[in-house]
Amino acid sequence: MKDTEMKKIRIIDSTLRDGMHAVSHQFSPDDMAVIAAALDAAGVDTVEIGHGDGQGGSTYQYGFAKASDEDYLRAVSSVLTRSKLDILILPGIGTEPDIELGAKYGAKVVRIATHVTEADIGAQHIAFTKSLGMEAITFLMMAHMAPVEKVVEQAKLFESYGADVVYVTDSAGAMLPSEVAEKVSAVKAAVAIPVGFHAHNNLGLAIGNTLAAVQAGASVVDGCLCGLGAGAGNAQIEVLAAVFDRMHIETGIDLYKIMDAAENEVRPRMRQPLAITKLELSIGWAGVYGSFLLHSIRAGKKFGVDPRDILVELGRLKTVGGQEDLIIDVASRLAAEKEQRKSQTVAGK
Amino acid sequence: MKKVKSAILGPGNIGTDLLLKIKKNAKNIEVVLFAGIIDGGLGLELARKMGVPTSIDGVEAILADDSIKIVFEATGAKAHLENAPRYRKAGKIAIDLTPAAVGPYLVPAVNMDANFEGDNFNMVTCGGQATIPMVAAVNQVTPVEYAEIVATIASKSAGPGTRANIDEFTQTTAKALVTVGGAKKARAIILLNPAEPPIMMRNTVYCRVQHPERLEKIRESVDRMAEHVRQYVPGYRVRLEPIADGDKITLMVEVEGEGAFLPKYAGNLDIITAAAMATGEKIAERLQGISQ
């Protein structure tokens, strides 16, 4: 690259997928259409939509979405003019027919996400995505849980299955900038495909970590309007647009338009402001999956235990993304232990 | 009474675990041939040490032996689709541990008697064997409008076959939750957890029911069913007794493996080999009855 040439970064917006966690998957198809149109007008390269846990995620386990996958796809595909439509598949939850449905509505990108040590369960979905002529972008989720050699090994597996991009994904918002740089640069050195990074803000590091990733060689990164996402949210896309502009990195995004999309379309639809309260901070500190947040708050209320205790215990048990059912198990056990301690204290008096 | 002769095709984890179970516990069947197509595996070696005849001629070796009445297929779906018509032609009864589903789904605690006839039985999936009895137990008390199950297994216990086609697991399990479990609609989710030491197989069952207020009856039904499953899977336990939340019933079961060949955490493999053996034992009773 010549010095005069501007560096380019591809930003994928996930307001309408990861952001669904923050609204308990209750955006309506109309909400999605309005927000997607604003992202499209702002020049965002790729727009990801769907339930927070991807296609087929609308369940008891993860919460039922307001509408069906097909309703969301129909609504968004009718408004996009430039941005590529993107869906997420978590193997074990989403299946090949879900990919087919996306293709029917013009999705150009499928993101296939597995736990950082389990890339091989995504091989079938990568092959299927490619067979339909779509781009396959792969996620190594909870990347903080595996040592760098393991991350590299699994990234190479994804590449060998035909992935077009491989992401280091900080699903728990638990990584520090030095760790992001180490893992991204190691993956970058080991594969020939572009490397991506997906941040969460539980330790207040979403923007900083994204910059660390870009400096380490990542060329695809995720952002969300207003930072809307699981836990304390993702990297705020309008902030990324501004920061990259200051760094003379091209994103193709119109700064005023993306700011307006955030302020006019997303902020009024938010259920509560995104903040790093003691709960989000516990998630980042304990290294647990960001979408456990609202489930743990509800279970804490139902069983009368501190949600922080639930989150920390989930971290100790080395839970992975998707294990929302364990929250009830842990909460009920903590409640029983609390009850036992109480009766022991009473007996001791 | 003379034991019915059976063969196991597929000397991998599942096949070897099944062999050890039959050797140790079976009353009506014996394994007279343990067959694969590649020599050198741990399973074949173990079988030889135990004095079980082995072969690397695969299905051909089994078909060549007329004394074999029951074949346990522990290969893959593709192989069983090819082999099933040949077993039938040779008058052998197939117990299929792959997701091929040539024959009806069979979950011993739920529909063994209804499927007493027939010559091909499919063992669904490990998650199906663990959760379908629970959905059936709830359904006996109040109709299950929708069942959803989440099976979480240790990464180490998920073999290459499961990993290469994880959709097959979720789709097959969901189908059998309807056809055997009795739910009107169903979904299945599988999660792999790589934690060390490996976690025990754990299953969460959610049911949307018409009468959640019958919780006490549901609990009794679930406990009875668990007892039934324990007759062939001793490590089967209700970890969370049914709880109601609106019209949703939630319960959890875990399966500790017997630890015959596979470690105890691999309850997911244990439950499917245990179900296959229970089915084989029952079929052998039928065959013994005929020969008498």
**pLDDT, tens only, A303-336:** 999 999 999 999 999 999 999 999 998 999 999 9
Whether residues B163 and A120 touch (CB distance < 8 A) is answered with yes
Cβ(B9)–Cβ(B75) below 8 Å: yes
Whether residues A95 and B167 touch (CB distance < 8 A) is answered with yes
Domain that holds residue A302: 278-348
Asked if residue A36 is part of any domain, the answer here is yes
Model confidence band, residue A78 (pLDDT cutoffs 50, 70, 90): very high
- Give dist(CA A137, CA A164) in Å, integer: 6
B254: closest CA among A312, A329, A62, A292?
Answer: A329
What is the structure's pLDDT at A347? 62
Residue of chain A whose Cα is closest to the Cα of B149: A61
- Give dist(CA A346, CA A340) in Å, integer: 10
Q: Are residues A230 and A299 in the same domain?
A: no
What is the structure's pLDDT at A1? 45
Superfamily name and number for B4-123+271-291: NAD(P)-binding Rossmann-like Domain (3.40.50.720)
- Give dist(CA A149, CA A141) in Å, integer: 15
Asked if residue A1 is part of any domain, the answer here is no
Number of neighbouring beta carbons within 10 Å of residue B49: 8
Q: Which residues contact B237 (CB under 8 A, 6 or more apart)?
A: B226, B253, B254, B255, B256
In a mutational test of the B interface, the residue from A55, A58, A60, A145 whose CB has the highest number of chain B CBs within 10 Å is A60
Question: Which of helix, strand or coil describes residue A6?
Answer: coil
Q: Are residues A241 and A195 in the same domain?
A: yes
Q: Is the dihedral of CA B87, B93, B98, B102 positive or negative?
A: positive
Between A and B, how many residue pairs show a Cβ–Cβ distance under 8 A? 81
Tell me: pLDDT of B274 over 60: yes
B210: closest CA among B148, B140, B149?
Answer: B140
Polymer length in residues for chain A:
349
- Give dist(CA B39, CA B274) in Å, integer: 26
- Domain spans in chain B, listed from the N-terminal domain onward: 4-123+271-291, 126-264
The pair of structure tokens assigned to A31 is 């909400």
pLDDT digits (tens, 9 = 90+) for B186-245: 999 999 999 988 999 999 999 999 999 999 999 999 999 999 999 999 999 999 999 999
Select the more confidently predicted residue: B264 or B179.
Answer: B179
What is the structure's pLDDT at A21? 97
What is the structure's pLDDT at B159? 82
Model confidence band, residue A4 (pLDDT cutoffs 50, 70, 90): low
Cβ(B92)–Cβ(B120) below 8 Å: no
Q: Which residues contact A254 (CB under 8 A, 6 or more apart)?
A: A41, A42, A43
B135 in reach of chain A (CB within 8 A): no
- Which residues in A lie closer than 8 A to residue B247 (C-beta atoms)? none
Domains of chain A: total: 2
The pair of structure tokens assigned to B244 is 């109601």
The pair of structure tokens assigned to B27 is 């009353």
Active-site choice (A21, A51, A144, A200): A21
- Give dist(CA B183, CA B202) in Å, integer: 21
pLDDT digits (tens, 9 = 90+) for B127-152: 999 999 999 999 999 999 999 999 99
Whether residues B167 and A124 touch (CB distance < 8 A) is answered with yes
Residue of chain B whose Cα is closest to the Cα of A326: B204
B252 in reach of chain A (CB within 8 A): yes
> Thinking of the domain B126-264, which architecture would CATH place it in?
2-Layer Sandwich (3.30)
Residues of B annotated as catalytic are 126
Q: Are residues A161 and A44 in the same domain?
A: yes
B254 in reach of chain A (CB within 8 A): no
Residue with tokens 């639930």: A310
Q: Which residues contact A192 (CB under 8 A, 6 or more apart)?
A: A159
Asked if residue A2 is part of any domain, the answer here is no
Tell me the Ramachandran region of residue B40: left when phi exceeds 0, alpha when psi lies from -120 to 50, beta otherwise. left
- How distant, in Å, are the alpha carbons of A162, A203, A347, B100, B199 from that of B103? 35, 53, 59, 8, 32
Whether residues A317 and B190 touch (CB distance < 8 A) is answered with no
Q: What's the complex ipTM? A: 0.93
What is the structure's pLDDT at B115? 65
| A333 Cα to chain B: minimum distance (Å) | 10
Residue of chain B whose Cα is closest to the Cα of A318: B195
If you average pLDDT over residues A137-154, what whole number do you get? 98
Q: Measured between CB atoms, which of B165, B193, B208 is closest to A320?
A: B193
- Give dist(CA A244, CA B95) in Å, integer: 61
Cβ(B179)–Cβ(B140) below 8 Å: no
Residue with tokens 């995104």: A274
Tell me the Ramachandran region of residue A320: left when phi exceeds 0, alpha when psi lies from -120 to 50, beta otherwise. beta
Asked if residue A273 is part of any domain, the answer here is no
Q: Are residues A250 and A318 in the same domain?
A: no
Q: Are residues A77 and A221 in the same domain?
A: yes
Buried b or exposed e, range B67-84, using 16+ CB within 10 angstroms: ebbbbbbbbbbebbeebb
Model confidence band, residue A2 (pLDDT cutoffs 50, 70, 90): very low
pLDDT digits (tens, 9 = 90+) for B249-260: 999 999 999 887
Residue with tokens 């009920």: A332
B198: closest CA among B257, B243, B130?
Answer: B257
Q: Are residues A153 and A228 in the same domain?
A: yes
The pair of structure tokens assigned to B284 is 């052998």
Identical fold for domains B4-123+271-291 and B126-264, yes or no, is no
Q: Of A235, A268, A301, at which residue does a domain stop?
A: A268
- Looking only at the bridges linking them, the beta strands covering B201-209 and A195-198 are unpaired
Cβ(A183)–Cβ(A148) below 8 Å: yes
pLDDT digits (tens, 9 = 90+) for B8-64: 999 988 999 999 999 999 999 999 999 999 888 889 999 999 999 999 999 999 999
Q: Are residues A37 and A104 in the same domain?
A: yes
Question: Which of helix, strand or coil describes residue A110?
Answer: strand
The pair of structure tokens assigned to A327 is 């929250």
Asked if residue A285 is part of any domain, the answer here is yes
If you average pLDDT over residues A10-15, what whole number do you get? 98
- Give dist(CA A26, CA A19) in Å, integer: 10
Whether residues B206 and A60 touch (CB distance < 8 A) is answered with yes
Q: Is the peptide bond before B263 cis (omega within 30 degrees of 0)?
A: no
The pair of structure tokens assigned to B282 is 């029952």
Q: Of A247, A268, A289, at which residue does a domain stop?
A: A268
Whether residues B192 and A115 touch (CB distance < 8 A) is answered with yes
DSSP B122-147: E---HHHHHHHHHHHHHHHHS-EEEE
The pair of structure tokens assigned to B133 is 């009895």
Containing A260, the helix (H) or strand (E) segment is helix A255-260
Asked if residue A313 is part of any domain, the answer here is yes
- Which residues in B lie closer than 8 A to residue A56 (C-beta atoms)? 187
If you average pLDDT over residues A94-119, what whole number do you get? 98
Tell me: pLDDT of A346 over 90: no
A111: closest CA among A33, A239, A18?
Answer: A18
The pair of structure tokens assigned to B274 is 């245990």
Residue of chain A whose Cα is closest to the Cα of B248: A60
CATH classification of the domain holding A323: 1.10.8.60
- HSE, side-chain direction, 13 A CA sphere, residue A267: 10
CA angle centred on A145, ends A142 and A149, rounded to 5°: 110
Q: Of A211, A241, A268, at which residue does a domain stop?
A: A268
The pair of structure tokens assigned to A144 is 């903080």
B118: closest CA among B133, B100, B102?
Answer: B102
